[in-house]
Chains A and B, each alone.
Chain A
Amino acid sequence: MTEVLTDSRSIRIKGRSFLAVVLSPDLPLDDWLVRLDDLAARSAGFFLNRPVVLDVADLGINRAELTEFLEKLAERNVRIMGIEGAKPSMISPGMPPVLKGGRPAGDVEVTATEATETGAEDKHETTVASAPPATAVASESRSAHPSLVINEPVRSGQSIIFTEGDVTVVGSVASGAEVIAGGSVHIYGALRGRAMAGSVGNASARIFCRKLEAELIAIDGIYKMAEDLPPELLGKPVQLWLEGDAIMAEKLN
């Protein structure tokens, strides 16, 4: 028994995370630019083709100063993809977009042999731009097929986010709880909350559950609300997958 749940073509919106270099300048800016030039001289092409985010959170400068500073960076071929920590008054149209919710990652090594001594003072930090929490935490221990096993019920209000791979829950997912996986979602119990598989772009991810009573299910950005699910599948063991832009569902036996 296979059912097509979506046939209208919808626009797919996905999240994707990239590693960006964050520059956190300090005052006076001219001195900082001298140090930047020094670094650039030792490590030629360091900023070439790298996404760079400018962190101005603790920098007390106004809009005119920021505009001038961005010009000076542009002269040095440092292209800013976004500004973090800026007050609305500092931003004018035409500036790079304001970024929020970045999460720190490790320091970036400057890849020139002589550059080791300047690495620290230039405050190079990296961040994962707009990435869900699990990414930064789990990325270090990447195995061939990373998976997360939860041995207890996921309670209302709890949120399991694991963008690295599959999530298996040995228990139920309560109404008001959510499980978000980069890979497939396996629920050995009732799925009453939300399940999102393939959340960072994986059309082959699937959702399996022992009892389908979900509030919302999503695979690779295509989603279905509870009322769009066929009533004859409710309360049954079900697997859901994606064919093109259609969510397919089948009873498991």
Chain B
Amino acid sequence: MGKVIVVTSGKGGVGKTTSTAALGAALAQRNEKVVVVDFDVGLRNLDLVMGAERRVVYDLINVIQGDAKLTQALIRDKRLENLFLLPASQTRDKDNLTPEGVEWVINELKRYFDWVICDSPAGIERGATLAMRHADIAVVVTNPEVSSVRDSDRIIGLLDSKTMKAERGERMEKHLLLTRYDGARAQRGDMLKVDDVLEILSIPLLGIIPESTDVLRASNLGAPVTLADARCAPSLAYFEAARRLAGEDIPVSIPEEKRSILGKIFARRAA
């Protein structure tokens, strides 16, 4: 049985979709079978970032309503043969997501894939709660600024109370993915420092993704950043995060200013 990951944040625009695509492509490059599922019904974006927007025929809602088979709705990536996309519907709204339908789809996907990565919509309403409902692992995407941190804190509270795992009395595995991190600005105090964010959220750190134009460039090309340029700084950080998700214990490095010497790079353990 595969593992179900929800990529969530509460706040919009912090990098959920980008991170879903990048982590999905990074895990698929480890020869594992991956499906990325877009839960943002009505405002879908994952198909664009994956470069599959012209290949969407059926979507998640069609599958839930029985208009299409799951295999008909899955889109295989053209670059990685073990990476698949289940797109959201752009013309429907979130009310079409039913708890039973979502449960059935997730259980089916778990049978065929090693990783089922659910891209949650922003907010704490139906779409977001259904995306996290069946997850085994949560990746909480947070920017180093106060509103994002507080929204993430709220989401962590929901992960601990509204998910199947929580209702069964188990502990949801939660990881912090700090995105759009700018070492120089954090040094100047314009941005929250890594330690501040970790202290407030008190969940283990999965990775720190540096702020970079490479991410935007990749999105516009329609490719996950870990596919578009596997050697750029954000890609390396996403590859490391994927290794940690897969269970490897490697230290997290904080991206510093480019001119800083190697010795200034603090290494820390992922808890």
Contact = CB atoms under 8 A, between A and B. Distances in A.
B150 A176 contact: yes
B160 A152 contact: yes
A175 B153 contact: yes
Interface residues of A, number: 14
Interface string A155-171: 11110000000000001
B157 A155 contact: yes
Interface of B: 150-151, 153-154, 156-158, 160, 199-200, 202
Given A174-B150, A175-B150, A176-B150, A156 B202 contact: no
A147 interface: no
A177 B200 CA distance: 13
Contacts of A199: none
Interface of chain B, main secondary structure: helix
A156 B150 contact: yes
B150 A171 contact: no
A152 to B, nearest CB: 7
B156 A155 contact: yes
A192 B149 CA distance: 13
A172 interface: yes
Contacts of B154: 155-157, 176
Interface string A165-189: 0000001101111000000000000
Most B-side CB within 10 Å, residue of A156, A177, A190:
A156
A176 B151 CA distance: 10
B246 to A, nearest CB: 26
Contacts of A157: 153-154, 157-158
B145 to A, nearest CB: 13
Interface in A100-120: none
A96 interface: no
Max chain B Cβ within 10 angstroms of own Cβ: one of A157, A158, A175, A190: A157
A234 to B, nearest CB: 15
A201 interface: no
Given A155-B157, A172-B200, A190-B200, 5 more contacts: A156-B153, A156-B154, A156-B157, A157-B157, A176-B154
